[in-house]
Amino acid sequence: MSDTLYLSLWYPNLRLVELAGKLTSVLGAFAAYGGDATVYAATVWPIDWTETPIFQQVYGRGKPGAEPQLAVTEALESLHDDYAYEFQIGWSLWELEAGGELDARWVRAPRLVRVTGYGPLFDEGTYEADGHIRVDFGSDAPFLEEDLELDSVAARHVEENVRQLVEFTAAVEKASGATARLLWSELGESLAQRLAARLRGSN
């Protein structure tokens, strides 16, 4: 059963004016780890997720897109304690192309990842649980492929996806100066434990 995978990042004594630099660092790290160099879209949410966005801008995938610093600067022009700043950026992983396992082939498939920076008062201080910055990777299926029989080819591609994820999380923690990070899922299950169990089952 697939689950949504998140990365939460926390920073000590983070002031709101410092959030822009942290977001720029996180978004800028994607290009070196299978992601786009430019931001697809930016949205600003006031108060909580039930409110209507006060800012939305779609820049486009790849080109033209927007450089991370430009997208962050535009979105954070209205800087408030109770706002959340969400950015979408492209990231590619190995996935089995649709069409059945017999004739299917592995391809680098693009997906949109959401990177959100939280003001301290947004949604009653959701940053305490979700991080000052949260990365929403979407479905964790490419890291487990639980619906497939893992032959040597499939196992290699899943392993490459996991390595890409691990290298990205380590790099983004260092680049943005995070003091704590947590890779987690909505169901609360450990990706590492599920992956270990998955690989044991394939042997």
What is the rounded CA–CA span in Å between residue 43 and residue 75? 7
Q: Is the pLDDT of residue 92 over 80?
A: yes
User: Considering the entire predicted model, what is its pTM?
Assistant: 0.92
Q: Is the pLDDT of residue 122 over 70?
A: yes
Q: How confident is the model at residue 134 (pLDDT cuts 50, 70, 90)?
A: very high
111, 80 in Cβ contact below 8 A?
no
Spatial CA neighbour of 36 closest among 137, 113, 134, 142: 113
Please provide the average confidence, as pLDDT, over all residues in the chain. Answer: 90
What is the rounded CA–CA span in Å between residue 125 and residue 10? 13
**Residue entry with tokens 């304690």:** 81
Instruction: Report pLDDT for 41.
Output: 97
Cα–Cα distances in angstroms (integers) from residue 159 to residues 14, 65, 77, 126, 130, in the given order: 35, 30, 40, 33, 27
Three-state SS at 18: helix
Least-confidence region, from 25-39, 57-71, 183-197:
183-197
119, 82 in Cβ contact below 8 A?
yes
Q: Is the pLDDT of residue 201 over 70?
A: no
Q: Is the pLDDT of residue 55 over 90?
A: yes
Instruction: Report pLDDT for 102.
Output: 58
User: Taking residues 192-200, what's their average pLDDT?
Assistant: 69
User: Taking residues 185-189, what's their average pLDDT?
Assistant: 77
Q: Is the pLDDT of residue 101 over 90?
A: no
**Residue entry with tokens 């994607």:** 30
| Strand pairing report for 4-10 and 180-185 | antiparallel
